[in-house]
Chain A
Amino acid sequence: MSELVVETQDLTKKYGNFTAVDGIDLQVRKGEIYGFLGPNGAGKSTTIRMLLGLVKPTRGDARIFGLSIRQSPMEILKRVGAIVESPSYYGNLTAVENLEITRRILGADKKEIDRVLEIVNLSQWKNKKVKNFSLGMKQRLAIAQALLGNRELLILDEPTNGLDPAGIHEIRQLIKNLPGMLGVTVLMSSHILSEVELTATSVGIISRGRLLFQGTLEELRRKSENEICIEAHPQDKALKFLESKGLKVKARGNRLFIKKNSLDAAALNRALVMEGFDVTHLSTEGKNLEDIFLEITGGDAI
């Protein structure tokens, strides 16, 4: 098991009676792109703000690089680049001046500014005031700020929010290449399932402040085990018959559903027919990630 870059224990934030984040245990491993997925208002931003020390946790702790954000925020933040609720900038300054603020605080080399501008493809607009930038350019500048000074962890809150399709594609591509190109670990939040599916290697699903699933994308897909769907008559007897064979059967409408696991659909069909049932429909159904997501979050739309 590789080294944990981000690890939270029982991280909780309450605003009065409202629990925005409820005992979250995040685990982000080195070198991965961790997609932090959840519907709007699920607690993603609050969690990210707690990781960055912008919001004080009510309970629990967040450890980044093994250090506690409560005790050593300066040591941690030196090594973390962040975008919090896109995009943040000083509009009266140019791209270079915005980066200069970051550079001075970090004490990084002057050359860093050109390097990160090159990565996000903003070099030709570097002396333009940022308030005149398009949203996509502002977002690229935000990523440049986060990359400046060879940071080891990037925390990106909704990095593609509000961008047009071309911009979304561009930013996703950029994020996807980061771990390979620069060796950074990325924690990105999103409310778009397909985005996480396309960019992330690991997923955490949060809904109403609770972390409902955490694992690799592969593990999430494995949850989409197929079901066998059967229409057999008479249905109640068929149900009893299948249950007597030790199968877990769920009846929905006029159909029976059985978890496929290693079951052979043909053998099942044969057994039913031999027993004298009329099988009028038999199919295997796979769930897509959308279905799994809805199942995990209990129907909260994304």
Chain B
Amino acid sequence: MKKVLSTVRVHRILWNVVLIGVMMSLVGTAFAQEGGFTNDEIAFAIDNMMMFIAAVLVLFMQAGFSMVEAGFNGGKNTINILFKNLMDLSIGGVLYFLIGYQIMYPGDFNGILGFGGIGIPGQDALDPGYYPHYQTDFLFQVAFAATAATIVSGAVAGRMQFRSYLVYSAVLTGLIYPIAGSWQWGGGWLSELGFHDFAGSLIVHGVGGFAGLAGAIVLGPRIGKFNKDGTANPMPGHNITAATLGVFILLIGWFGFNPGSVLAMTGEANTIAVVVVAVNTFLAACTGAIGAMMISYFLNKGKPDLGMALNGMLAGLVGITANADVVTNIESLLIGLIAGFLVVGGMVLLESLRIDDPVGAWPVHGLCGIWGGIATALFGGANLGIQLLGSAAYSIWAFVLMFGVFYALKTIGFLRVNEKEELEGLDISEHGAVNYPEFGAVIAD
């Protein structure tokens, strides 16, 4: 009886396969006969579709960042963190459309700062002209801009005023990130020197990570994070499940971030580049998590820390982002592994300096962003001096400017919430809402 059933099932599957094949060949014939599209037009469509899917994947990373940041922080700040992520995309999206996109891609300019005009160029031209289309490219690039901005949200979590965060977000996505991007992707001075940052280890993650570091330093630590003797207390997140889901979402999103940065899929070379970049990205993520797990295993006396391993996966992804197109699979394993080691070291370093970065934004994005830049020289054949110069330029640019912005906000009393507000949580003090109203049991009193 069982055998008869399985035979029937196999027959049904085979019939379905044959039917689908026949239908596809019919559709293909009709398409070729009626459309009369050229190979270039079909390639244009496929490449734009790939870019569009990649853009959507990168936009989906916003969900990942939201989950990671909310999960790694206390439940009393959840609404605030999610709101900041939403506004990074919304305010950042509008500003990047209005000025950011054409600051980043100004056309001919002096290599340091340029502006091509408001909005997206070439909207009226139905002719493809630019490859891929500006509209597709904008969607892809705005998702990158939002990524750079949202990295900071985790570093300043739990003590920053919402209104000051909006100011920061606008400055970063409207000016700091696009100018940084123009130096390389817009054909600016670093591009002229031969600097290589394939998908933005430094341009996106380094800028976000160092902006976050500036925020964390100017804001100061959360209440209770450090003891008088300089030791740090753990402040566990409220939902490690959400944080883990967030990391997996980011991993998925990174398949838009890196392979999408090939900017085309058609043609043998592009197709191979996309899949090699995808595999390298995946491998570095895996070894990043393994590296961080190994280090945390030794640091925690045989008890590996999931939070570290999650950040290790992100570190591996950041590390490979600059060079996924120029390294081998084996090299990507090494790059990820070292990034995994570095992220734990970065967290220990921050704690020893009494800098409170609740989600490890700087170790993951800043430190491993620099590692990505250097690894491009060590493994990918880029010039080490120029890679170091570019790494320094992006780090200093983001850190110094954002330090100034945060410091100015602090000076006018705009930056940090007061102690009472911090202790009761930013969800109540900043938004008048409670995310988990049912969890009100008093335990200690």
* Co-assembled chains A and B: no
